[in-house]
Chain A
């Protein structure tokens, strides 16, 4: 049985449907992420799970028990708030002890657990400090420790890394994964940062306008997005309007002026000839070489380098195609002593294999 079950949950605010008939379940021990742009309903959903808001319809059950009449303080669910919400008048130690005190545990029990949790987040030397004496990353760890100290059934995390700078965020991501694994607590994580979601989660629900667009494991979400929104929201993607020409073992797609491409046919994809949609391909699947060099790939076009973005480990080349469309190709900068392969205006050949890319009908 799933730990948390969201069933046909809807929530309306006067003129806005924040959550629209959403159903999903979270398994025990899972790192589950709600991913979507701001205003997609992910935070409303989180508040309903925590108990700060009630669904207009539908049910939320935890361990098979309907939470409808359980106030937030009685739910075995804790939240790590975006602003951390640490109590400014309490030391790190007192902050972490708070949920244990509320649960009426004995002084000695509280002492042991606080100590163990301080160890877990490596804040032993900060136990007597007040939150305003801590760095952002340390506050973040106190908030996590406070949420985890009495091992809730579920820990909700509301964009907890949003306030940290990039380097620290990466470090905290690693710590989050370790914390989740070590404590075994089920995490429901809310974020708008797709890279973060991919790095952390076992499963991700991509939300838009109150609905779940796709619920999948990170690699499937990235590799087999269901529709244009998901393809575009997760990672970078090249997208081109396309029409289905022939359906066989593979698909032949008509890209208009650009000509035809071959694309793989996905299982469970019901397509008809003449159907219009989009052809997508990830930049790292596109090969790029000088126009004079031949390529054995079935899909290839000659274009000119319009621009490139040097990131360090990779360079993204933006190539103008004959029909005015643009395609991005990603090239790793792994050749020693050589950071740039092409100059602006260079004629180049972009190509990809028959198995790469996909056709999306929505």
Chain B
């Protein structure tokens, strides 16, 4: 290798590292580091007036590490129920979003190329106004129907807010499908339903999977919608975490709830990714 090529490769490497270093540092500082703080916090005692007690046990017997937060969680079925309810609401929201988004995404994907961008823009247009304002607007819609503070109101609100997150990945997937495949299926004897079920649907599983992740996880952590549109029985994990931090000022307890949620979600995602890879779909 000539000197010239060697120095060029070195130069390219320098450019590559200088491009990825800032975002890498940013994520390290503002994502990984806080997450680690949270992991440690979930094993600590709360401070007297909020915050955290010292990390190492002091002479007056406060501070140090403990499993107390986790023991508390598993000592009562209440927390488990809220978790279960949250997963239920998130699952239901995801399924409703899927059923509503699929026809919309199909329609956009099959529209003439020129109008596709406009239709996608229309789908994300609600993001142009503030999220809270839109949720309050739903209050005005629900009130005359006496639907406020109900589970139904929460679900409607959740679906409304998260629908675009299902439409977009689905559309991106469906748009890439080769229409000749549907011709081929029809040519080989498949009717309209079989063409969908045996060709379009299995090929769209990656899109469904990304959409589901993008809806399911934010719904779990959402506290504003249950708080504004729901009643006391509609509290979700997000509300508990928020209440632990802002209401009870019990940071360790909030961190522990957060940890349990993160671990459960990661397990779910890993499980479904495994299923997805196990042969339901191959690109």
Contact = CB atoms under 8 A, between A and B. Distances in A.
A88 B183 contact: no
B28 to A, nearest CB: 37
A81 B180 contact: yes
A102 B190 contact: yes
B183 A85 contact: yes
Contacts of B194: 102
Contacts of B189: 73-74, 99, 102-103
A88 B177 CA distance: 10
A89 interface: yes
B23 to A, nearest CB: 32
Contact-residue bracket for chain A: 20 to 34
Nearest to B182: A85
A218 B180 CA distance: 32
B9 interface: no
* Most B Cβ at <10 Å: residue of A50, A81, A99, A102: A102
* Most A Cβ at <10 Å: residue of B187, B199, B282: B187
A83 interface: yes
B190 A73 contact: yes
Contacts of B185: 87, 98
Nearest to A71: B186
B283 A50 contact: no
Given A87-B199, A99-B189, A103-B189, A79 B184 contact: yes
A73 B191 contact: yes
B37 to A, nearest CB: 43
Interface string A64-100: 0000000111100111010101011100000000110
Contact of A81 (B184, B191, B203, B282): B184
Given A85-B180, A87-B199, A89-B203, A73 B281 contact: no
Contacts of B178: 83, 85
Contacts of A301: none
Interface residues of B, number: 20
B188 interface: yes
Contacts of B181: 85, 87-88
B188 A50 contact: no
A50 B187 contact: yes
Contacts of B187: 50-52, 72-73, 77-79
A146 interface: yes
Nearest to B282: A130
Contacts of B203: 88-89
Nearest to A102: B189
Interface string B173-211: 000001011011111111100100011001100000000
Contact of B188 (A71, A98, A132): A98
A156 B180 CA distance: 15
B183 A89 contact: no
Contacts of B191: 73
A89 B184 contact: no
B69 to A, nearest CB: 45
Contacts of A85: 178, 180-181, 183-184
Contact of A78 (B188, B198, B199, B282): B188
Given A99-B189, A102-B189, A132 B283 contact: yes
Given A88-B203, A89-B202, A89-B282, A72 B180 contact: no
Nearest to B199: A87
Interface string B239-283: 000000000000000000000000000000000000000000111
17 contacts: A50-B187, A51-B187, A52-B183, A78-B188, A79-B187, A81-B180, A83-B178, A83-B180, A85-B178, A85-B181, A87-B199, A88-B203, A89-B281, A98-B185, A98-B198, A102-B194, A130-B282
Interface of B: 178, 180-181, 183-191, 194, 198-199, 202-203, 281-283
Given A81-B180, A85-B180, 11 more contacts: A50-B187, A72-B183, A73-B189, A79-B187, A81-B184, A85-B183, A85-B184, A87-B181, A102-B188, A102-B190, A146-B188
Interface of A: 50-52, 71-74, 77-79, 81, 83, 85, 87-89, 98-99, 102-103, 130, 132, 146-147
